[in-house]
Structure 1
């Protein structure tokens, strides 16, 4: 278990954040104590950070999916590092993206849908702000999804171009229509072409795809170039899509938003086939833009010094458990793709697949260390640099998960995922509803062992661990608006 940098339990959240608002000098000292060199390599690497929306871990050929076409993601995995066990600490775009920005858990940064904006002191310790302060040209394209105070994006980004869906197809000045994913590519290329040879850059491209268009019955919209893709493919039916499995779940889950959206997308076998194919086409559309951006890096002569990172903001149900959407602490909802391609690493470190548990929180620390920028003591992830180098450091053996969005149809969750066990509790249910799964032997989490006397010791240990991490990251849940 990795407790080395958890805030001490006697500090309140506000005390911790106040003490963590470090000056540049104190950040450098804190970073040196953590073993991260403050001296940047020469030349400093560029970064192309790709964030997809609702792409779960197995939606890429390199992850073992034989049906989906993702040649450019597969190339990144083949030429770089693919993390087989990557997770998010909150499975919803708003909170997860704030966690990626700040390196903090939701309970600490306190941002999700319906909350006040992300606090300025956290914006000032975000990866784009720190990279910009260190001389990087920073850019953002696509779905931002984080509420911030006025002026915050200008402090983080030299170039900020938000692009959203609704609708995915945008009317152009010449009367044509273009898909939002392709427009992300256009804006990203424009940013890259505006960079100077003597200044490193960090471009964050945040795709809206493959997120569904929730308000439209069709749900999934893909670039027209992929209209004929997957038409002759029979999509697999999830193991736990059996109605008998759904009926075994508690009533509050059977009445949740996950079930409501299942009706939108997977209620009949025919609808499930068509919707899943649409989702696949959207992933392939993103993949095509990734190839376009890599070609542009080569054309500009900067490919050999540009680190590319790809992360999903959360996982996704495609009918598993009788659900759609995400939010809940099950494997299909919390597992995400994470690829890192660093063209500077030796050939022996390419195409490797580390098995350590890594998190969305680890991405900002990784970019900062690769850039030689001090990592704030506030951040709660771990830099992936040792794993990218092929080292075998002491690593985390568990992590804390939470979902705190105020919505009557999405039950709040907190729990702990270890290398073998998943413990989760719906803490607002009366009584608290607990689940325990042996994910090594029961990956689809079909058998809840919370009531099994043989697992009482495991259950009690994970209850205690969940309390410990909950308290260290902020304490029992209190809605931010009521504080």
Structure 2
């Protein structure tokens, strides 16, 4: 499915125009003339209330330099992490884009807002979510100017009522690719024509998408994610002009979501021959059939260069991992531009900054690619938070959940609680004492099966469509960090299994940190 694109829209009484064009970026990419260099401004007067800058990255797993993964080129995120709190054991509430984001912005767990026909992917289509104040709605009600660009919800049109400056309508910028009336191509005509041909050929073969990778020699803002950066920086400058009004600005980037498309220079940062495919490339031993999601790999299988079934060749695995790394570095550069703008505008000392990836991701580990499964790598996510009062780089191993983000922002900004119950906990006490005792478990829902991560274990009981037991997974992550062997039925783990079953039944309320 194509990702939303860019469209000149009203942004604080200003219209930004842009030329559309060029190629796939998880769908598509199109160019925009490079933005003018950002002029430095002196620091303005101190604001009474803290601003919030949220940086969201699709499909980003905690494979970054600041998480000890030195093979990844992520210098801008690493620099930010040096002044932030790094959460080493942060977990999403649902290992899929839409439900994860709905839960995060509502401050409510997906099992609370569940609906009969499946996970909540559109916040506007769920009766419970529609009645509560989402994070942007709550900040808007407190007098904030609120704006967003890129991928925040799964669909940009969701929750538009909550923002003072809703996501721009991107339909016209999709026109060059999808044939809607609108802008003509300003550049990269040949490149776009090739992508059209590849998409057409893929469609004729029964594939939904074209190739899974792209390394075009194009500027950053030839891709939608580069346009998101341009828009975010422009809005940041506009918001900085009003020192009396606090702001909540959220930017979401699509990469490193498939397709793995990034400008060639980011591919050039890596030597493909040095990339090693996952060695634990089989499903976990002893995993019940209910744990193996039969359609979870469809996201990857739908690309024209990926076989319909069977293992991927080593060469293809290397290419995909290379593409993922390149996309991470591409987004690292975008985040760096936004953070540089925050600094140059004199806003950093008044702004809470958060960076998160919406869920985890598999790159062949456990015989799986992408997400959509109840396994550790699908749930484990990056989370970095910096507040004006806590700017020393530090880390914590406390178990944290994305449902904690809403209450953290509320407390960090000194705001009243929303009318509805927030089902997470503010992380400020943990940031103030990173080694303190914290939650005893984190919970993630997928396919109506609730998985529990404790200090040492991941425990997941499965049920079939009739609610009958369909197996249990138990992974001893202290001794098997790759989660390669399900020990649920091993005799020596029966006492632990019984304890975990009781803890799972007690639920998230019983797992809350004592303050």
Q: State whether TM-score is above 0.5.
A: yes
CA contact (8 A) 1:262 1:319 kept: no
Offset of 1:458 from its aligned partner? 1.8
Q: Does 1:425 align with 2:461?
A: yes
Question: Which of 411, 432, 435 lines up with 2:473 in the alignment?
Answer: 435
CA distance in 2, matches of 1:281, 1:333: 20
- Structure 1 stretch displaced more, 394-403 or 230-239: 230-239
Gapped runs of 5+ residues in structure 2? 1-45, 189-220
> What's the CA shift string for 1:416-442, capped at 9, x where partnerless?
211111111221176512111111111
Offset of 1:471 from its aligned partner? 11
CA distance in 1, matches of 2:66, 2:85: 11
- Structure 1 stretch displaced more, 252-261 or 158-167: 158-167
TM-score (norm 1): 0.77
CA contact (8 A) 1:422 1:438 kept: yes
In structure 1, the partner of 2:433 is 390
2:125 match: secondary structure: coil
Distance 1:469 1:248, change over 3 A: closer
In structure 1, the partner of 2:208 is none
CA contact (8 A) 1:310 1:339 kept: yes
In structure 2, the partner of 1:108 is 112
Distance 1:239 1:169, change over 3 A: farther
> What's the CA shift string for 1:274-311, capped at 9, x where partnerless?
11111111111111011111121122221221221101
Offset of 1:314 from its aligned partner? 0.5
Q: Does 1:221 align with 2:261?
A: yes
> What's the CA shift string for 1:236-287, capped at 9, x where partnerless?
222311x5x5686555656712345566387010000011111111111111
In structure 1, the partner of 2:490 is 452
Distance 1:167 1:283, change over 3 A: farther
Q: Does 1:51 align with 2:56?
A: yes
CA contact (8 A) 1:98 1:109 kept: no
Q: Does 1:306 align with 2:313?
A: no
> What's the CA shift string for 1:133-172, capped at 9, x where partnerless?
111111111124357998x412334342366999999988
CA contact (8 A) 1:76 1:340 kept: no
CA contact (8 A) 2:225 2:255 kept: yes
Distance 1:255 1:105, change over 3 A: closer
CA contact (8 A) 1:220 1:275 kept: yes
In structure 2, the partner of 1:127 is 135
Q: Does 1:188 align with 2:232?
A: yes
Q: Does 1:198 align with 2:234?
A: no
CA root-mean-square deviation? 3.2
> What's the CA shift string for 1:157-216, capped at 9, x where partnerless?
43423669999999886325711110110111121122111111111111111110xxxx
In structure 2, the partner of 1:272 is 317
2:52 match: secondary structure: strand
Distance 1:173 1:365, change over 3 A: farther
Q: Count how many residue pairs are aligned between Structure 1 and Structure 2.
A: 413
CA distance in 2, matches of 1:168, 1:183: 16
TM-score (norm 2): 0.73
> What's the CA shift string for 1:332-370, capped at 9, x where partnerless?
11111111122433xxx6121111011111111111111
In structure 2, the partner of 1:155 is 162
CA distance in 2, matches of 1:224, 1:147: 28
Alignment of 1:312-461 (within 5 A): 312-345=357-390, 350-376=392-418, 378-390=421-433, 394-404=437-447, 412-428=448-464, 431-461=469-499
Alignment of 1:69-148 (within 5 A): 69-110=73-114, 111-113=119-121, 117-119=125-127, 122=130, 124-146=132-154
Offset of 1:394 from its aligned partner? 4.7
CA distance in 2, matches of 1:305, 1:281: 32
Distance 1:448 1:168, change over 3 A: farther
1:381 match: secondary structure: coil
Distance 1:261 1:168, change over 3 A: farther
CA contact (8 A) 2:92 2:379 kept: yes
Distance 1:210 1:293, change over 3 A: same
CA distance in 2, matches of 1:423, 1:166: 44
Gapped runs of 5+ residues in structure 1? 1-40, 213-218, 405-411, 474-483
